[in-house]
Chains A and B, each alone.
Chain A
Protein backbone atom coordinates (compact mmCIF):
# COMPACT_ATOMS: atom_id res chain seq x y z
CA UNK A 1 0.00 0.00 0.00
CA UNK A 2 1.15 3.52 -0.66
CA UNK A 3 1.61 6.80 1.17
CA UNK A 4 -0.50 9.62 -0.23
CA UNK A 5 -0.95 13.25 0.72
CA UNK A 6 -3.34 16.01 -0.19
CA UNK A 7 -2.13 19.52 -0.97
CA UNK A 8 -4.08 22.72 -1.11
CA UNK A 9 -2.21 24.88 -3.60
CA UNK A 10 -0.74 27.08 -0.88
CA UNK A 11 2.87 28.17 -1.03
CA UNK A 12 3.72 26.20 2.11
CA UNK A 13 2.19 22.99 0.76
CA UNK A 14 4.12 23.58 -2.46
CA UNK A 15 7.40 23.82 -0.59
CA UNK A 16 6.77 21.08 1.99
CA UNK A 17 5.06 18.52 -0.25
CA UNK A 18 6.24 19.24 -3.80
CA UNK A 19 9.67 20.55 -2.76
CA UNK A 20 12.79 18.42 -3.21
CA UNK A 21 13.25 17.43 0.45
CA UNK A 22 10.13 15.28 0.81
CA UNK A 23 8.59 14.87 -2.66
CA UNK A 24 9.90 11.32 -3.09
CA UNK A 25 8.39 10.20 0.22
CA UNK A 26 4.91 10.25 -1.32
CA UNK A 27 3.76 7.70 -3.86
CA UNK A 28 0.77 9.91 -4.59
CA UNK A 29 0.28 13.67 -4.23
CA UNK A 30 -3.29 14.80 -4.84
CA UNK A 31 -4.36 18.42 -5.34
CA UNK A 32 -7.24 18.44 -2.88
CA UNK A 33 -9.83 20.27 -5.01
CA UNK A 34 -9.40 17.51 -7.62
CA UNK A 35 -9.81 14.53 -5.25
CA UNK A 36 -12.26 12.08 -6.80
CA UNK A 37 -13.52 8.54 -6.24
CA UNK A 38 -10.82 5.97 -6.96
CA UNK A 39 -7.92 8.29 -6.13
CA UNK A 40 -7.44 6.60 -2.77
CA UNK A 41 -7.50 3.03 -4.09
CA UNK A 42 -4.31 1.28 -2.96
CA UNK A 43 -3.51 4.01 -0.46
CA UNK A 44 -2.55 2.74 2.97
CA UNK A 45 -1.85 6.07 4.64
CA UNK A 46 -3.35 9.39 3.60
CA UNK A 47 -1.98 12.58 5.14
CA UNK A 48 -4.11 15.70 5.47
CA UNK A 49 -1.46 18.40 6.00
CA UNK A 50 -2.07 21.22 8.43
CA UNK A 51 -4.01 24.25 7.20
CA UNK A 52 -5.58 22.48 4.25
CA UNK A 53 -8.73 24.49 3.56
CA UNK A 54 -11.49 22.94 5.73
CA UNK A 55 -14.15 23.58 3.09
CA UNK A 56 -12.43 21.00 0.86
CA UNK A 57 -12.32 18.46 3.66
CA UNK A 58 -16.01 18.86 4.41
CA UNK A 59 -16.73 18.49 0.68
CA UNK A 60 -14.63 15.33 0.42
CA UNK A 61 -15.79 13.83 3.71
CA UNK A 62 -17.41 10.76 2.06
CA UNK A 63 -14.16 9.86 0.29
CA UNK A 64 -12.06 10.42 3.41
CA UNK A 65 -14.40 8.37 5.60
CA UNK A 66 -14.48 5.71 2.89
CA UNK A 67 -10.71 5.40 3.19
CA UNK A 68 -11.11 4.75 6.93
CA UNK A 69 -13.97 2.31 6.34
CA UNK A 70 -11.65 0.26 4.08
CA UNK A 71 -9.17 0.02 6.95
CA UNK A 72 -6.88 2.82 5.79
CA UNK A 73 -4.92 5.18 8.00
CA UNK A 74 -5.77 8.87 7.96
CA UNK A 75 -3.36 11.41 9.46
CA UNK A 76 -4.89 14.80 10.21
CA UNK A 77 -2.82 17.79 11.29
CA UNK A 78 -3.74 21.17 12.82
CA UNK A 79 -6.03 23.94 11.62
CA UNK A 80 -8.11 21.74 9.37
CA UNK A 81 -11.18 21.92 11.62
CA UNK A 82 -10.95 18.16 12.13
CA UNK A 83 -13.74 18.34 14.72
CA UNK A 84 -16.12 19.25 11.88
CA UNK A 85 -15.46 16.19 9.74
CA UNK A 86 -13.35 13.50 11.47
CA UNK A 87 -15.12 10.89 13.64
CA UNK A 88 -14.43 11.15 17.35
CA UNK A 89 -12.50 14.43 17.27
CA UNK A 90 -13.15 16.72 20.24
CA UNK A 91 -11.09 19.91 19.93
CA UNK A 92 -10.85 23.01 22.11
CA UNK A 93 -9.38 26.29 20.91
CA UNK A 94 -6.40 27.67 22.81
CA UNK A 95 -4.64 30.86 21.69
CA UNK A 96 -1.24 29.97 20.26
CA UNK A 97 1.73 30.89 22.40
CA UNK A 98 4.58 31.05 19.88
CA UNK A 99 6.90 33.02 22.14
CA UNK A 100 6.99 30.73 25.23
CA UNK A 101 10.62 29.78 24.52
CA UNK A 102 11.68 33.44 24.77
CA UNK A 103 10.69 33.65 28.44
CA UNK A 104 13.37 33.23 31.04
CA UNK A 105 13.77 29.69 32.31
CA UNK A 106 11.13 28.49 29.86
CA UNK A 107 10.36 24.81 29.71
CA UNK A 108 7.96 23.42 27.15
CA UNK A 109 4.45 22.48 28.28
CA UNK A 110 4.30 19.68 25.69
CA UNK A 111 5.13 16.20 26.92
CA UNK A 112 5.44 12.90 25.09
CA UNK A 113 3.65 10.38 27.30
CA UNK A 114 4.11 7.27 25.16
CA UNK A 115 7.79 7.29 24.20
CA UNK A 116 7.48 3.56 23.51
CA UNK A 117 5.02 4.19 20.68
CA UNK A 118 6.35 3.12 17.28
CA UNK A 119 6.29 6.72 16.02
CA UNK A 120 9.06 7.68 18.42
CA UNK A 121 11.41 5.14 16.89
CA UNK A 122 11.36 7.55 13.95
CA UNK A 123 10.73 10.94 15.57
CA UNK A 124 12.89 12.39 18.34
CA UNK A 125 10.43 13.58 21.03
CA UNK A 126 12.37 16.87 21.13
CA UNK A 127 11.40 17.42 17.50
CA UNK A 128 7.71 17.56 18.45
CA UNK A 129 8.15 20.80 20.36
CA UNK A 130 7.44 24.19 18.80
CA UNK A 131 3.86 25.25 19.58
CA UNK A 132 0.38 23.85 18.99
CA UNK A 133 -3.09 24.92 17.90
CA UNK A 134 -5.63 23.91 20.50
CA UNK A 135 -6.05 20.72 22.46
CA UNK A 136 -7.82 17.42 21.78
CA UNK A 137 -9.75 15.07 24.02
CA UNK A 138 -9.05 11.60 22.62
CA UNK A 139 -12.01 9.25 22.33
CA UNK A 140 -12.10 6.34 24.81
CA UNK A 141 -9.68 3.64 23.70
CA UNK A 142 -7.41 5.96 21.70
CA UNK A 143 -3.76 6.33 22.75
CA UNK A 144 -2.71 9.84 23.75
CA UNK A 145 0.91 10.31 22.65
CA UNK A 146 1.53 13.98 23.55
CA UNK A 147 -0.24 16.07 26.17
CA UNK A 148 -0.17 19.51 27.76
CA UNK A 149 -1.38 20.61 31.21
CA UNK A 150 -4.34 22.99 31.65
CA UNK A 151 -3.97 26.47 30.21
CA UNK A 152 -2.88 28.85 33.00
CA UNK A 153 -5.86 31.11 32.23
CA UNK A 154 -8.30 28.27 32.96
CA UNK A 155 -9.58 28.07 29.39
CA UNK A 156 -9.27 24.28 29.31
CA UNK A 157 -8.41 21.28 31.47
CA UNK A 158 -5.34 20.42 29.45
CA UNK A 159 -5.44 17.92 26.67
CA UNK A 160 -3.77 16.03 23.96
CA UNK A 161 -1.76 17.25 20.96
CA UNK A 162 -1.33 13.94 19.17
CA UNK A 163 -3.24 10.68 19.43
CA UNK A 164 -3.52 7.32 17.73
CA UNK A 165 -7.11 6.12 17.42
CA UNK A 166 -7.77 2.55 16.27
CA UNK A 167 -11.24 2.35 17.79
CA UNK A 168 -13.46 5.07 16.30
CA UNK A 169 -13.44 3.65 12.77
CA UNK A 170 -12.45 0.47 10.96
CA UNK A 171 -9.23 2.25 10.04
CA UNK A 172 -6.66 4.15 12.03
CA UNK A 173 -6.70 7.85 12.81
CA UNK A 174 -3.67 9.89 13.79
CA UNK A 175 -4.91 13.30 14.88
CA UNK A 176 -2.70 16.21 15.91
CA UNK A 177 -2.82 19.94 16.63
CA UNK A 178 0.76 20.37 15.39
CA UNK A 179 1.40 22.28 12.15
CA UNK A 180 4.69 21.01 10.69
CA UNK A 181 3.89 21.39 6.99
CA UNK A 182 3.04 25.07 7.32
CA UNK A 183 6.22 25.92 9.21
CA UNK A 184 8.61 23.75 7.23
CA UNK A 185 7.02 25.02 4.03
CA UNK A 186 7.40 28.60 5.26
CA UNK A 187 11.11 28.20 6.11
CA UNK A 188 10.15 29.03 9.67
CA UNK A 189 10.87 26.95 12.80
CA UNK A 190 13.49 24.25 12.19
CA UNK A 191 12.01 21.75 14.69
CA UNK A 192 9.21 21.19 12.19
CA UNK A 193 11.72 20.01 9.60
CA UNK A 194 13.25 17.59 12.10
CA UNK A 195 9.72 16.38 12.89
CA UNK A 196 8.89 15.69 9.24
CA UNK A 197 12.30 14.09 8.71
CA UNK A 198 11.13 11.37 11.09
CA UNK A 199 7.37 11.44 10.69
CA UNK A 200 7.28 10.86 6.93
CA UNK A 201 9.53 7.75 6.99
CA UNK A 202 7.25 6.42 9.75
CA UNK A 203 4.13 7.12 7.68
CA UNK A 204 5.82 5.36 4.76
CA UNK A 205 6.59 2.36 6.98
CA UNK A 206 2.98 2.23 8.20
CA UNK A 207 1.72 2.35 4.61
CA UNK A 208 3.98 -0.60 3.75
CA UNK A 209 2.97 -2.49 6.87
CA UNK A 210 6.51 -2.32 8.25
CA UNK A 211 5.97 -0.28 11.43
CA UNK A 212 4.89 -2.29 14.45
CA UNK A 213 5.34 -1.10 18.01
CA UNK A 214 7.45 -3.36 20.27
CA UNK A 215 4.46 -3.84 22.59
CA UNK A 216 2.21 -4.98 19.76
CA UNK A 217 4.90 -7.24 18.32
CA UNK A 218 5.30 -8.90 21.70
CA UNK A 219 1.54 -9.30 22.13
CA UNK A 220 1.08 -10.89 18.72
CA UNK A 221 4.29 -12.89 18.80
Chain B
Protein backbone atom coordinates (compact mmCIF):
# COMPACT_ATOMS: atom_id res chain seq x y z
CA UNK B 1 0.00 0.00 0.00
CA UNK B 2 1.31 3.41 -0.91
CA UNK B 3 1.45 5.62 2.17
CA UNK B 4 4.50 7.85 1.62
CA UNK B 5 4.99 10.73 -0.77
CA UNK B 6 8.53 11.57 -1.88
CA UNK B 7 9.31 14.76 -3.77
CA UNK B 8 11.61 13.77 -6.62
CA UNK B 9 14.36 16.16 -7.64
CA UNK B 10 15.87 14.01 -10.44
CA UNK B 11 19.27 13.41 -8.85
CA UNK B 12 20.55 10.03 -10.10
CA UNK B 13 22.95 9.37 -7.22
CA UNK B 14 20.62 10.67 -4.53
CA UNK B 15 19.76 7.18 -3.25
CA UNK B 16 16.14 7.62 -4.36
CA UNK B 17 16.38 5.02 -7.18
CA UNK B 18 17.97 2.55 -4.71
CA UNK B 19 15.19 3.11 -2.20
CA UNK B 20 12.42 2.72 -4.74
CA UNK B 21 13.90 -0.55 -6.02
CA UNK B 22 13.83 -2.13 -2.55
CA UNK B 23 10.94 -4.60 -2.32
CA UNK B 24 10.37 -3.88 1.39
CA UNK B 25 9.86 -0.11 1.09
CA UNK B 26 9.61 0.76 -2.62
CA UNK B 27 5.95 -0.26 -3.01
CA UNK B 28 5.01 2.20 -0.26
CA UNK B 29 6.42 5.23 -2.07
CA UNK B 30 4.83 7.52 -4.61
CA UNK B 31 7.11 10.10 -6.15
CA UNK B 32 5.98 13.49 -7.35
CA UNK B 33 8.05 15.95 -9.35
CA UNK B 34 9.15 19.00 -7.37
CA UNK B 35 6.94 21.36 -9.34
CA UNK B 36 3.99 18.97 -9.52
CA UNK B 37 3.61 19.09 -5.75
CA UNK B 38 0.41 21.14 -6.01
CA UNK B 39 -1.24 18.36 -7.98
CA UNK B 40 -1.20 15.81 -5.18
CA UNK B 41 -3.58 15.49 -2.26
CA UNK B 42 -1.47 15.16 0.88
CA UNK B 43 -4.35 13.60 2.80
CA UNK B 44 -3.82 10.46 0.72
CA UNK B 45 -0.51 9.81 2.53
CA UNK B 46 0.80 9.10 6.00
CA UNK B 47 4.17 10.69 5.39
CA UNK B 48 5.93 13.27 3.25
CA UNK B 49 9.66 12.94 2.59
CA UNK B 50 11.40 16.25 1.83
CA UNK B 51 14.92 15.70 0.53
CA UNK B 52 17.98 17.91 0.75
CA UNK B 53 17.58 18.68 -2.97
CA UNK B 54 14.11 20.22 -2.68
CA UNK B 55 13.31 23.76 -3.69
CA UNK B 56 12.72 25.21 -0.23
CA UNK B 57 11.69 28.59 -1.61
CA UNK B 58 8.86 26.84 -3.45
CA UNK B 59 7.94 24.80 -0.38
CA UNK B 60 7.99 27.88 1.86
CA UNK B 61 5.20 29.23 -0.35
CA UNK B 62 3.21 26.09 0.53
CA UNK B 63 3.95 26.18 4.22
CA UNK B 64 0.30 26.36 5.29
CA UNK B 65 -0.56 23.31 3.24
CA UNK B 66 2.34 21.23 4.56
CA UNK B 67 1.65 22.32 8.10
CA UNK B 68 -2.06 21.45 7.83
CA UNK B 69 -1.02 17.97 6.71
CA UNK B 70 1.15 17.51 9.80
CA UNK B 71 -1.33 19.03 12.24
CA UNK B 72 -3.97 16.61 10.98
CA UNK B 73 -1.76 13.67 11.96
CA UNK B 74 0.77 13.39 9.13
CA UNK B 75 4.50 12.76 9.39
CA UNK B 76 7.18 14.86 7.68
CA UNK B 77 10.80 13.82 7.38
CA UNK B 78 12.85 16.79 6.19
CA UNK B 79 16.59 16.70 5.50
CA UNK B 80 19.32 19.11 4.54
CA UNK B 81 20.15 22.64 5.64
CA UNK B 82 17.25 25.03 6.03
CA UNK B 83 17.54 28.21 3.99
CA UNK B 84 13.83 28.95 3.63
CA UNK B 85 11.80 27.49 6.51
CA UNK B 86 8.77 25.66 5.18
CA UNK B 87 7.28 24.37 8.42
CA UNK B 88 6.83 25.71 11.97
CA UNK B 89 9.77 24.67 14.11
CA UNK B 90 12.37 24.80 11.33
CA UNK B 91 15.02 27.49 11.69
CA UNK B 92 17.97 28.53 9.55
CA UNK B 93 21.12 26.42 9.21
CA UNK B 94 24.10 27.32 11.40
CA UNK B 95 27.53 26.42 9.99
CA UNK B 96 30.51 25.32 12.10
CA UNK B 97 33.29 27.62 10.85
CA UNK B 98 36.59 25.88 10.05
CA UNK B 99 35.37 22.54 11.37
CA UNK B 100 37.70 19.61 11.97
CA UNK B 101 36.88 15.91 11.91
CA UNK B 102 36.20 15.90 15.67
CA UNK B 103 33.51 18.55 15.10
CA UNK B 104 31.74 16.18 12.68
CA UNK B 105 31.48 13.25 15.07
CA UNK B 106 27.86 12.15 15.38
CA UNK B 107 26.72 11.57 18.97
CA UNK B 108 23.55 9.81 19.96
CA UNK B 109 21.57 11.88 22.41
CA UNK B 110 18.41 9.79 22.53
CA UNK B 111 17.33 6.42 21.18
CA UNK B 112 14.83 6.55 18.32
CA UNK B 113 13.22 3.69 16.34
CA UNK B 114 14.67 4.93 13.02
CA UNK B 115 18.22 4.63 14.37
CA UNK B 116 17.86 1.47 16.46
CA UNK B 117 21.04 -0.59 16.08
CA UNK B 118 22.74 2.06 13.92
CA UNK B 119 26.27 2.75 15.14
CA UNK B 120 26.98 6.51 15.29
CA UNK B 121 30.40 5.74 13.80
CA UNK B 122 28.63 4.48 10.66
CA UNK B 123 26.93 7.86 10.40
CA UNK B 124 30.04 9.92 11.07
CA UNK B 125 32.02 8.27 8.27
CA UNK B 126 31.16 7.11 4.78
CA UNK B 127 34.12 5.18 3.36
CA UNK B 128 36.32 7.04 5.77
CA UNK B 129 35.04 10.51 4.81
CA UNK B 130 33.33 12.58 7.53
CA UNK B 131 30.74 15.28 6.95
CA UNK B 132 28.08 13.65 4.81
CA UNK B 133 25.79 13.10 7.77
CA UNK B 134 26.15 16.57 9.17
CA UNK B 135 28.43 19.61 9.12
CA UNK B 136 26.38 22.20 10.91
CA UNK B 137 23.35 22.51 13.11
CA UNK B 138 19.85 23.93 13.51
CA UNK B 139 18.13 25.34 16.56
CA UNK B 140 15.34 22.92 17.49
CA UNK B 141 11.95 24.28 18.54
CA UNK B 142 10.94 24.27 22.20
CA UNK B 143 9.87 20.81 23.24
CA UNK B 144 11.81 19.00 20.51
CA UNK B 145 13.74 15.82 21.27
CA UNK B 146 17.32 15.93 20.03
CA UNK B 147 18.31 12.51 18.68
CA UNK B 148 21.81 13.19 17.39
CA UNK B 149 24.26 16.00 17.97
CA UNK B 150 27.60 16.93 16.39
CA UNK B 151 31.01 17.23 17.94
CA UNK B 152 32.18 18.17 21.43
CA UNK B 153 29.77 21.12 21.61
CA UNK B 154 26.90 18.65 21.06
CA UNK B 155 25.26 20.88 18.46
CA UNK B 156 21.74 19.71 17.53
CA UNK B 157 21.73 17.70 14.30
CA UNK B 158 18.63 15.46 14.27
CA UNK B 159 15.50 16.14 16.25
CA UNK B 160 11.82 15.35 16.34
CA UNK B 161 8.86 17.34 17.52
CA UNK B 162 5.11 17.21 17.62
CA UNK B 163 2.98 19.58 15.60
CA UNK B 164 -0.74 19.29 16.22
CA UNK B 165 -1.63 15.62 15.95
CA UNK B 166 1.36 14.93 13.69
CA UNK B 167 5.13 14.82 13.96
CA UNK B 168 8.21 16.20 12.26
CA UNK B 169 11.53 14.40 12.07
CA UNK B 170 14.32 16.70 10.99
CA UNK B 171 17.78 15.57 9.90
CA UNK B 172 20.24 18.40 9.27
CA UNK B 173 22.46 16.68 6.71
CA UNK B 174 22.46 14.48 3.62
CA UNK B 175 19.38 12.37 2.93
CA UNK B 176 19.15 9.16 4.96
CA UNK B 177 18.60 7.13 1.78
CA UNK B 178 22.07 8.07 0.53
CA UNK B 179 23.30 5.52 3.11
CA UNK B 180 21.66 2.60 1.27
CA UNK B 181 24.51 0.45 0.04
CA UNK B 182 26.82 1.65 2.82
CA UNK B 183 27.47 -1.95 3.80
CA UNK B 184 27.12 -1.26 7.52
CA UNK B 185 24.52 -0.55 10.19
CA UNK B 186 23.55 2.77 8.58
CA UNK B 187 21.52 0.77 6.06
CA UNK B 188 19.05 -0.02 8.83
CA UNK B 189 17.72 3.53 8.77
CA UNK B 190 15.49 3.16 5.72
CA UNK B 191 13.52 0.01 6.64
CA UNK B 192 13.24 1.35 10.18
CA UNK B 193 12.05 4.72 8.87
CA UNK B 194 9.22 3.03 7.03
CA UNK B 195 8.34 0.88 10.04
CA UNK B 196 8.19 4.06 12.12
CA UNK B 197 5.97 5.78 9.52
CA UNK B 198 3.71 2.73 9.47
CA UNK B 199 3.40 2.71 13.25
CA UNK B 200 1.79 6.16 13.13
CA UNK B 201 2.09 9.30 15.18
CA UNK B 202 1.39 7.51 18.44
CA UNK B 203 4.58 5.43 18.11
Contact = CB atoms under 8 A, between A and B. Distances in A.
A98 B129 contact: yes
B135 A187 contact: yes
A196 B56 CA distance: 23
A98 B128 CA distance: 10
Contact of A93 (B12, B52, B129): B12
A54 B9 CA distance: 8
B12 A9 contact: no
Contacts of A55: 10, 33-35
A10 B53 CA distance: 6
Which of B56, B96, B99, B135 neighbours the largest number of chain A CB atoms within 10 Å of its CB? B56
Interface in B109-132: 126-129, 131-132
A186 B135 CA distance: 8
B55 A10 contact: yes
Contact of B127 (A9, A95, A98): A98
B161 interface: no
A15 B58 contact: no
B12 A10 contact: no
B41 interface: no
B95 interface: yes
B54 interface: yes
B13 interface: yes
B159 to A, nearest CB: 17
Contacts of B81: 11-12, 15, 186
Q: Is the contact region of chain B dominated by helix, strand, or loop, or is it mixed? A: loop
B83 interface: yes
A14 B92 CA distance: 11
A124 interface: no
A96 B13 CA distance: 8
B93 interface: yes
Nearest to A98: B129
Which of B9, B80, B96 neighbours the largest number of chain A CB atoms within 10 Å of its CB? B9
A56 interface: yes
A14 B10 contact: no
B113 to A, nearest CB: 27
B25 interface: no
A193 B53 CA distance: 20
B129 A11 contact: no
A188 B35 contact: no
Interface in B63-102: 80-84, 93, 95-96, 99
Contacts of A96: 13
Interface string A1-40: 0000000111110110000000000000001010000000
Interface of B: 9-13, 33-35, 52-59, 80-84, 93, 95-96, 99, 126-129, 131-132, 135-136
5 contacts: A14-B56, A14-B84, A31-B57, A187-B96, A187-B136
Given A14-B83, A102-B129, A186-B81, 7 more contacts: A14-B84, A15-B81, A53-B10, A81-B10, A99-B126, A133-B13, A186-B135
Interface of A: 8-12, 14-15, 31, 33, 51, 53-56, 79, 81, 93, 95-96, 98-99, 102, 133, 186-188
